[in-house]
Amino acid sequence: MKKILVVDDKSSISDLIVQLLKQSYDVESRSNGVEAMAYLQDGNLPDLIISDLEMPQMSGFELIKAVRESGFFSDIPIMILSSLDSSEDRIKCLKLGADDYMMKPFNPEELLIRIEKALK
């Protein structure tokens, strides 16, 4: 079963995503980029990371950068799920190495389709 790491400081959002995905995927969640990096460094290799941008300690921008510069985790696809809707933020994420960017609130069906595509 494919493994997905959800990174969001709002438990209501991460719980919703976990509930949506747990039928088809092995899903873990962490509340910020620091916890996500610790999870990865403990030897856990998800097939996809879904992350928010606005989080304490380490933002989604910093998480993308850390994952892409890590070497070891740099091939893991990263999908951003954020309420930031400026074109500048989306471009910054894509330049840093994110593979996809979706807006909150999101359509669950669209999220599932994008996840399927990211995991191919």
How does pLDDT run across 68-83, given as a tens digit for each residue? 999 899 999 999 999 9
* Boundaries of every domain in the chain: 3-118
CB 97 within 8 A of CB 63: no
Distance (Å, whole) CA 115 – CA 111: 6
How does pLDDT run across 16-44, given as a tens digit for each residue? 999 999 999 999 999 999 999 999 999 99
In the CATH scheme, what is the code of domain 3-118? 3.40.50.2300
What residues have CB less than 8 Å from 113, skipping those under 6 apart? none
pLDDT at 75: 96
Give this prediction's pTM: 0.97
